[in-house]
Chains A and B, each alone.
Chain A
Amino acid sequence: MSTSIFNQMFLIFDPLNIIQICCWLIAGVVSLYFSVGNARLWTSISFGFFLLMIGQSYLINPLVKYHLVIAMHHVCSVLSIMLISHGIFEYYLFCRTLEISGKKQTVYIATAGILIFFLCFLLVNPNPSPNAIRNYQIIANAIWVILCIANIELCRKIYLSLRNSSIGKGFLGFAVAFALIMFWKGAFLYQQIYQWDRLGQDIYYISGQYLDIDDYADIVKFTYHIISYTGILASMTVVGTHLYFLRQLKSSGGES
């Protein structure tokens, strides 16, 4: 595995990444459309996917040379999965108790508040080093993996409640998406734990330490494949699920 220059290491114009970011963009826009005129729990889910698009846009963001910017991308990424999980959980509660309560403004205000807090936090503290950025990423990936596992179970239960309606299949799509994201982020986390990721390798080499990556080259290569393909599949699944919801929304209007 070759090392990369720190300043350019995030500017990777990989075609798969371009497709991925486009899928996240479409999913984000459709999600925002759903959040308009709907209850709070769809706002949480939709706004969460929109923030996910923001979080993943570091792949094409020219300002990522500033470590503060990439740190905020990771914050957006974590916030997105937390919002999505919050919305999924509220939807599960709705299926059980039929309670629809809360204001959308609360979601917007809380999200803005958290983003502002972390921005201030980053500004107050020293400029994050590559090692600090990597730590942020490890935390983000760990949160993603845990919440994806929880969301898969919740989506399964929601699907069982809404089995007879068209929207139930949408939540099955979400479950598949979360499973793919779990593998995607999980593989990345696995790499980061053993410092097989590019940044981890660079830190090792710069510090002059020995990394036994060559003894596990196949595994490392396999995890890179998982990251690449599950990432793109997850983004395509999410956009497919959102387009399915959009189609249901449009087509259910004409039926009697």
Chain B
Amino acid sequence: MFRLPKGKPLYENMGLNGLQLPDITAKLSFAKFTGYVHFVFSTSYVILVFEFGQLVSLMSKEGEKPPQKDGFEAMRDLARLITSSENGVISVYQLSPDLTMCIHALLQGEALYRSQELALIDIKAFLARIKDNLMNGCLRIYTDERLAMIFYKDGAPLGFFNDGSETIETTPGDSQHIAKLAGAKLDFFTTVNTEELMSQNLLDVINLDQIWEVAQNSRKAALHKLSEEQQGRQRLEREERLSALAGDVSALCVEYLGDMGSKIFEKEMQTAGGNNCLRSMEEAAPLITALERGARLLMVGQSRINKMKESISNAIAWAGIV
């Protein structure tokens, strides 16, 4: 995952429950926020970079393998992740405009060098070129285990960001050491200056309200479908339990009334509207009354009838089908 300098943390690891994405961007725009917003989810993260309240870039990355997305697709991913995820957190870090520009370069700047072996380039000449051309951007030096970043504005280093640190430092630190390690590589991303960056506000291009509404509707539809599936499963389970209960009650009728007992039970159950009448004692009362009437016709003694009624009541109560 991207490691970025934290700058001045305004919010850190705050839960996303109840937060609306349009409200978040509106507040940051109104406050002319400069810095970046870091959304972290289970397997994804999204970074929004603001410069004086204007959204200058955003990037989303899900998992390890898929490529990162930006622009409209990243915003759509963010809306979807906020509405569907339960474990998302948001962190807001305030940075200086120049550093924000460098962060933007890192995320979406033009890559002059990418994964370039340090041993194969003249680093001194390269650094001189940065200085001479008054470049803005981010130089990233890394190995498989170590990472160091140098932020440049107008060719001059703004600050250093090393492994283990969370803020921008003014000294190179380990960056020179990392550069000397075997297999060290280099990325350099350049971008336009801050004034030019501010001319592009992605919030003016992306219809955030619509994206948010679509994401919410999708979430509701997904929840509704899930609920329907769950209800369907519950209904199926209830049907199975009712069928089993009907079988048990039929067996009780045979035990107390003979073969005619099951026929009387089947017929009276159909009259009562099917096996749904076995859901509760209140619903089964007319059925039990009809069984009692049938039992009298079969010359069954009252105490035996009472035992049958008690057995059936216990079976219904034990089944506990609602």
Contacts and interface: CB of A to CB of B under 8 A. Distances in A.
Interface of A: 37-39, 41-42, 91, 94-95, 98, 100, 161-162, 164-167, 170, 245, 248-256
Contacts of A170: 299
Interface string B31-63: 000000000000000000000000000000000
A250 to B, nearest CB: 6
Contacts of A164: 258-259
A245 B297 CA distance: 11
B99 to A, nearest CB: 87
Given A251-B301, A253-B302, A254-B303, A162 B260 contact: yes
A254 B268 CA distance: 26
Given A165-B258, A165-B259, 16 more contacts: A42-B296, A94-B297, A98-B263, A98-B264, A164-B259, A165-B298, A167-B299, A170-B299, A248-B299, A248-B301, A249-B300, A250-B301, A251-B301, A252-B301, A253-B303, A253-B304
Contacts of B3: none
Contacts of B257: 165
Contacts of B267: 98
Interface residues on B, range: 20 to 34
Contacts of A256: 307
Contacts of B302: 253
A86 to B, nearest CB: 15
Interface string B249-276: 0000000011110011001100000000
A162 B297 CA distance: 12
Contacts of B264: 98
Contacts of B296: 37-39, 42
B299 A100 contact: no
B314 to A, nearest CB: 14
A162 B258 contact: yes
A167 B298 contact: yes
B252 to A, nearest CB: 12
Given A162-B298, A164-B259, A165-B298, A39 B303 contact: no
16 contacts: A42-B297, A98-B263, A100-B290, A161-B260, A162-B298, A164-B259, A165-B258, A165-B298, A166-B258, A170-B299, A245-B299, A248-B299, A248-B301, A251-B301, A252-B301, A253-B301
Given A39-B293, A162-B258, A255 B304 contact: yes
B22 interface: no
B294 interface: yes
Contacts of A162: 258, 260, 298
Interface string B156-194: 000000000000000000000000000000000000000
Contacts of A249: 299-301
A100 B304 contact: no
Contacts of A98: 263-264, 267-268, 294
A42 B302 CA distance: 16
The 10 closest A-B pairs by CB, nearest first: A253-B301, A253-B303, A165-B258, A98-B267, A252-B301, A167-B299, A252-B304, A164-B259, A253-B304, A38-B296
B297 A38 contact: yes
A87 to B, nearest CB: 11
Interface in B266-321: 267-268, 290, 293-294, 296-304, 307
A249 B290 CA distance: 18
B262 to A, nearest CB: 11
A241 to B, nearest CB: 11
B301 A39 contact: no
A105 B299 CA distance: 21
A161 B264 CA distance: 13
Nearest to A244: B299
A251 B300 CA distance: 9
A251 B301 CA distance: 7
Contact of B297 (A91, A161, A251, A252): A91
A223 B268 CA distance: 50
B28 to A, nearest CB: 75
Nearest to A94: B297
